[in-house]
Amino acid sequence: MNRTERIKFIATKLDEYFPNPPIPLIHEDAYTLLIAVLLSAQCTDVRVNQITPFLFKKAKTPEAMIKLKVETIMEIVKPCGFFRTKGTNIFNLSKILIEKHQGQVPRSFEELEALPGVGHKTASVVMSHAFKIPAFPVDTHIHRLAKRFGLSNGSSVEQTEKDLKKIFPKEEWEKRHLQFIYFGRNFCKARGHVVSECPICKGL
């Protein structure tokens, strides 16, 4: 099949298996999503979703978060790994949100990425899911699948993001991002991947 047919096949399969993919991280608003995404670095969404209810019960706004001791935040998020860094970043970014953004999560990549612990992928997730501003966050699942599906050469996460943005219409970016994640977790895993058992790979 040619490239156009390949893209259509992949899109059809993603829609077939995951027509309405939910956001995997538990959150209530832009701030709680930002915190959840920050905690998800080098940690599974399942583990994050086990921890955030305890954290958000104590503090789900920047104002409430900075009233906690950094050590308290660290202790709560410890199961998510890198807890010292994550705990410190959560406290410091909450303080900055109050001091510079009236306690609100900013709606720009530049301002988001200036926050402690917030990289481009985290900013993209918040922009896409919290504010519905077109973005295509690329994680390890998406990077792996884009290369396997022949949609990107896999040279870098940055290149994969550029390639996928060119392939899919802007209004589909949020949905495609989530579909790739769920498909990667369920059918096209990093280890033990069997081409004949993958609904997309076996058809390419």
Query: Of 23-27, 56-60, 137-141, which range is least confident?
Result: 137-141
Give the tens place of pLDDT for each residue, 107-147. 999 999 999 999 999 999 999 999 999 999 999 889 999 99
Give whole-number Cα distances, 68 to 4, 28, 104, 166, in Å. Answer: 53, 20, 18, 44
* Residue 23, pLDDT score: 97
Burial 23-32 (b: 16+ CB within 10 A, else e): bbbbbeebbb
**String of DSSP letters for 83-129:** HHHHHHHHHHHHHHHHHHHTTS--SSHHHHHTSTT--HHHHHHIIII
Distant-in-sequence, close-in-space partners of 154: CB < 8 Å, separation ≥ 6? 143, 144, 146, 147, 160
Fold designation for 30-130: Endonuclease III; domain 1 (1.10.340)
Percent above pLDDT 90 for the chain: 99
Average pLDDT over residues 71-76: 98
Q: How confident is the model at residue 203 (pLDDT cuts 50, 70, 90)?
A: very high
Query: Of 1.10.1670.10, 3.20.20.410, 2.40.50.140, 3.20.20.140, which CATH number belongs to 3-22+135-203?
Result: 1.10.1670.10
154 pLDDT exceeds 90?
Answer: no
Q: Would you report the helix, strand and coil content of the chain in percent, each value rounded to 5?
A: 65, 0, 35
CB atoms within 10 A of CB 112: 23
Average pLDDT over residues 46-65: 98
Tell me whether residue 139 is one of the annotated catalytic residues. Answer: yes
Give whole-number Cα distances, 109 to 29, 125, 176, in Å. Answer: 17, 10, 20
Give the tens place of pLDDT for each residue, 156-189. 999 999 999 999 999 999 999 999 999 999 999 9
Mean of pLDDT over the chain: 97
Q: Which residue has the tokens 């935040």?
A: 73
* 8 Å CB contact between 62 and 34: no
Kindly name the residue from 139, 162, 165, 175 that is annotated as catalytic.
139
* Residue 55, pLDDT score: 98
Average pLDDT over residues 9-18: 98
Kindly name the residue from 13, 60, 86, 121 that is annotated as catalytic.
121
54 pLDDT exceeds 90?
Answer: yes
CB atoms within 10 A of CB 171: 8
103 pLDDT exceeds 90?
Answer: yes
Residue 36 DSSP SS3: helix
Tell me whether residue 45 is one of the annotated catalytic residues. Answer: no
> How do the domains of the chain map onto residue ranges?
3-22+135-203, 30-130
The DSSP code for 21 is: P
Q: Which residue has the tokens 């019960």?
A: 57
Average pLDDT over residues 39-52: 97
